[in-house]
Amino acid sequence: MHELTLNDLKSAIRDVPDFPIKGIVFKDITTLLRDGNLFAEAVDYMYDHFREKEIEVIAGIESRGFIFGTALAYKLNIGFVPIRKPGKLPAEKISEEYELEYGTDQLEIHRDAIKKGQRVLLVDDLLATGGTAQAAARLIEDLDGDLVGIAFLIELSFLNGRKALKDLDLISLIQYDSE
């Protein structure tokens, strides 16, 4: 049972026009996070969906993916693996590239972060075109992890990022059908 609905969560997201560049309306989650009940409910909705899926470890994408990923890992009593921007992880690692609007960027994971066959849940705050999540998914597959599902707080449905991540148990708590 939840005291708050998914619409309550959505109402707490703040639209910030022209960030990071003119013409983009940024979905600011800090107005949800700072409210303890809203934050806990968001984590609990993710927990309810994945509690029976025998997840063994959560991978979160730097840095807003750490926010829901670690709280959910704590609730599930499982470990947390950070997927980071280049140059941040200290030990032996692998990397995957993904495309940005202009140019490319990379994500990295420690080579020993995930055991072969380990059941992994990927967590991030927002699904847009899916490029970042796809790169993170490839990292988990490169390590022979068993990527079971992906949880997002927000899904920008009109960008169809879900198509890029088919065959995965993908959930989002809040959807936007248009810009």
**Active-site residue set:** 64, 101
The residue count for the chain: 179
Structure-derived torsion over alpha carbons of residues 47, 140, 89, 132, reported in degrees to the nearest 10: -80
Residue 91 engages its own copies in binding (rule: CB under 8 A)? yes
CB of 32 to its own copies, least distance (A): 9
Between residues 133 and 165, which has the closer beta carbon with respect to its own copies? 133
Is there a cis peptide before residue 63, judged by omega within 30 degrees of 0? yes
Interface size with its own copies, residues (CB under 8 A)? 40
Q: Is residue 123 within the footprint of its own copies (CB under 8 A)?
A: no
Looking at residues 30 to 69 of the shown chain, list those that interact with its own copies (rule: CB under 8 A).
30, 33-40, 43, 57, 62-63, 66-68
Paired residues of 85 in beta bridges: none
Interaction between residue 23 and its own copies (CB under 8 A): no
Instruction: Compute CA distances 94 → 83, 89, 109, 110, 111, whole Å.
Output: 10, 10, 6, 6, 6
108 CB burial (10 A radius; 0-12, 13-18, 19+) = buried
Q: Which of residues 89 and 150 has its CB atom nearest to its own copies in the complex?
A: 89
Site residues (CB under 8 A) for its own copies? 14, 16, 19-20, 26, 28, 30, 33-40, 43, 57, 62-63, 66-68, 70-71, 73-82, 87, 89-91, 110, 113
